[in-house]
Chains A and B, each alone.
Chain A
Amino acid sequence: MSTIEAPRSSPTPARRSGVNWEKWGWIYMRASGVVLVVLIFGHLFINLMVGDGVKAIDFAFVAGKYATPFWQVWDLLMLWLALIHGANGMRTLVNDYASSPRLGGVLKGAIFASAAILIILGTLVIFTFDPCPAVPADQFSLLPSFCPPQ
């Protein structure tokens, strides 16, 4: 008696264990996208529409925002979420269209480096920004007018 051969099916390569970056990347894009809609439109509304609107934006306006923990957290979230969101989006583009693994590696390295540098510099500015730093006496005139006399 002959039996029907089992369906021809290539052995399934076991998925590598550990974090499934593609899955989490996909989830991250959707989650951060929803949060960014709120953060970015809130940012635009506060900066451009409320009060004097766009005319109110100057050095003092920005200095005032960074003196407030609320806006520090808001801008920090926006910075991290948006840069990682954008960098991950460009990473998927490279995955889709880079013709060789070498070129893809170089491009992804460049994307990672630029996002990392911008995140580090931006975070540094948000937490260390001081509109009225201590300066030598001959540079008092460079400070904004709202700074207390030193």
Chain B
Amino acid sequence: MAAATQTLTAADAFTITLIIRRFLPDVDDEARWESFDVSVYSTDRILDALHKIKWEQDGTLSFRRSCAHGICGSDAMRINGRNRLACKTLIKDLDITQPIYVEAIKGLPLEKDLIVDMEPFFEAFRAVKPFLIANSTPEAGKERTQSVAQRAIFDDTTKCILCAACTTSCPVFWTDGQYFGPAAIVNAHRFIFDSRDDAADVRLDILNDKEGVWRCRTTFNCTEACPRGIEVTKAIAEVKQAVLRGKR
């Protein structure tokens, strides 16, 4: 009987307050906070609350989202001061007695509401050559083989979805947009330590730069921000070690 009551309670809708940092470039000179009351269920995520606002209250609210299941990396945003994916943040895990603050990720040019210009982020990503560069030719009809142990070395960094939660949580990136940023280094790590790749030295040289791995201050913001649980700071440290060794 008690269990049944609890189930009923869990299914009841309740009202939360979302305070969203709005910026409509046609109207606003500067970003401003706007408050919305929205009725949600405890199983809802922040993304559901944003949808409700956009669909039922204010159609001008703009944000990116694609898959809505934590894989595409479109909806990274700053929720209660922490970078998270809106589609992976359950409302019941936040303190709903207080308003929930939602704003765009920091350090990239704000375009509209929760949308930022991701181009500087992807520019850094492209600069580390995030694709296989192999000088060898596999046997005809065969693929390049790799042992389980060889794969395990860089397995963690293959999980990156390029949501920019890490890079835009990095205080060095906030003040120095030239810094490659954690995400670019993670994606360099993914190929530097791949036994099938032959261009580790090229990528290590790129990251052995004034704006490369040496700018990392190991504040661990990136590791805490990563919605995929990648040990970002550890990956950066491994790249530092590889630069010092001069090889992977």
Contact = CB atoms under 8 A, between A and B. Distances in A.
B197 to A, nearest CB: 14
A26 B205 contact: no
A96 B172 contact: yes
Interface stretch (B16-24, B87-95, B121-129, B226-234): B121-129
Given A15-B208, A23-B243, A95-B176, A7 B214 contact: no
15 contacts: A7-B126, A7-B130, A7-B131, A9-B127, A9-B129, A12-B202, A15-B208, A15-B209, A23-B208, A23-B214, A92-B217, A95-B215, A96-B176, A96-B217, A97-B175
A2 B208 CA distance: 37
Interface string A1-26: 00000011110100100001011011
Nearest to B207: A15
A99 B127 CA distance: 25
A22 B209 CA distance: 7
A128 to B, nearest CB: 38
B152 interface: no
Nearest to A99: B175
B247 interface: no
Contacts of B215: 22, 95-96
A27 interface: yes
Nearest to B212: A22
**B interface majority secondary structure:** helix
Interface of B: 123, 126-127, 129-131, 171-172, 175-176, 202, 205-206, 208-210, 212, 214-215, 217, 240, 243-244
Interface of A: 7-10, 12, 15, 20, 22-23, 25-27, 92, 95-97, 99
A15 B202 CA distance: 11
Contact of A96 (B131, B171, B208, B210): B171
Pick from B129, B210, B240 the residue with the most CB of A within 10 Å: B210
B220 to A, nearest CB: 16
Given A7-B131, A10-B127, A15 B205 contact: yes
A20 B171 CA distance: 23
Contacts of A8: 126
A12 B50 CA distance: 40
A92 B130 CA distance: 28
A15 B127 CA distance: 13
Given A23-B244, A97-B175, 13 more contacts: A7-B126, A8-B126, A9-B127, A10-B123, A10-B127, A12-B206, A20-B208, A23-B243, A26-B240, A27-B244, A95-B176, A96-B172, A96-B215
Contacts of A99: 175
A67 B130 CA distance: 60
